[in-house]
Each structure stands twice: as C-alpha cells, then as structure tokens.
Chains A and B, each alone.
Chain A
Amino acid sequence: GQQVMQIPQYQHVQEGEDFTTYCNSSTTLSNIQWYKQRPGGHPVFLIQLVKSGEVKKQKRLTFQFGEAKKNSSLHITATQTTDVGTYFCAGGGNYGGATNKLIFGTGTLLAVQP
C-alpha cells in the first residue's frame, strides 16, 4: 500500500538552531500537506504544496515539494520553544479512486531546549 515516511523520527535542538524534516512517498502525490501537532493536541494544518518543485515560506518555515512530487521537506530557521511538537507531512493522491484521502507520514518529533 501507499507509504509516506519521514526522517528523522526525533530531533532535539538547542533554541536558535535550524531544523529540517524530510518526507518521502512510495507513490507520486497530487499534493503534499504539512501539519503540526503539539503535545496533547490535534494536528493543525500548516500549508499545502501542489506544483512540482514548489517552495513556500511562512515566516521561519520553508516548505519544498520535490520535482518528482514524491518527496518534500520542512525547514525551520532559528527554532524557538514554541516550535515544539510533531510535524507530519500528509500526501494527497488518487488512492483507489478516492481523491480526497490523505495518507499521513510517520512524523518527526521536535524538541527544543531553551
């Protein structure tokens, strides 16, 4: 079946350091979405990328969608303690004819030490 893997599983950084999580799909995606889940919370939508090679920025966060539309990355510059949480990518594609399904990646837990 479809799989979306993320690395690393866990990252611990000092506040002010940069952080990157990588997302790889076993199939070509129509779009990729990114979510953040704070400890004890539910996933919250961050952004969607649709075009091959697309790059989008949200303040200190930079999101990229690979040329082949099978991988993506999220880069956080100068992390802050408020960035703590698990970051999930979620691949949208034509899964068995269902075009609205999202397959979530395995997630990367980010810990930020002040």
Chain B
Amino acid sequence: SAVISQKPSRDICQRGTSLTIQCQVDSQVTMMFWYRQQPGQSLTLIATANQGSEATYESGFVIDKFPISRPNLTFSTLTVSNMSPEDSSIYLCSVAGGLHSYGYTFGSGTRLTVV
C-alpha cells in the first residue's frame, strides 16, 4: 500500500490566519481525499482532489474556506483559511488502495488548534 507523508503533524494558530497542510504520496494516485476528524468523533470527508481538475467538495465545505491544490499525482495541499476556534480538529489526507489492496491509506494527520 501507499505511504503518505503529511505535515505539519500539529500546529497552534491564531484566529484569522491560514494554515496549509501538505501530503506527499510515494506513488502516483488518481484521487486524494481530505478528511476532518474532531476529537472523539468520526471522519468527515471534506473534498476529493483529482489531478488537473477542481476538487469536489462535500456539503458544508466550500473552496474559499478549504482551498485544495493537486499539482501532480503524488502531492496535494489543503489550506484552512481565515481560521476560527471551530476549525480546531485533526485533518487527514487519504488515498484509495492500489491493485492489491482495497483499503484506504491515511496520512498521520495534522492536529490543528486555533486560539
């Protein structure tokens, strides 16, 4: 299965600022997925990022707040813009399994605290 390097692993940010989270995959993948997980909660899909096209956002998430870049088949970034304390959460990127595995592989996550 793919190996994902996600950074930063954690950050404490001031409200009103923005944070960009990066995910690097060790193999080429068509789709990358960005999830949010609030403490003690389940994972909520933010958006699906395809290379060369606009990301597809889920209900409740908008591009102005969570712009996503996907410049090539191994890399993606998620920006959390104009942050408020409600954005404090864990953000995870993920890729679908390859030929020999159906499961999704997740990055180690970014724990964001907005103060």
Chain A residue contacts of B107, Cβ below 8 A: 42
Main secondary structure of the interface of B (DSSP, over half): loop
Main secondary structure of the interface of A (DSSP, over half): strand
Is the CB–CB distance between B45 and A42 below 8 Å?
A: no
How many chain B residues have a CB neighbour from A under 8 Å?
25
Known contacts: A42-B107, A103-B45. The answer to whether A31 contacts B102 by CB under 8 A is: yes
Is A66's CB within 8 Å of the partner chain B? no
Is the CB–CB distance between A45 and B97 below 8 Å?
A: yes
Known contacts: A98-B56, A100-B31, A100-B48. The answer to whether A88 contacts B42 by CB under 8 A is: yes
Alpha-carbon distance A88/B41, docked complex (angstroms): 10
B75 to chain A, nearest CB (A): 19
Alpha-carbon distance A101/B34, docked complex (angstroms): 11
* A binding-site residues for B, Cβ under 8 Å: 1, 31, 33, 35, 41-48, 88, 90, 98, 100-107, 109
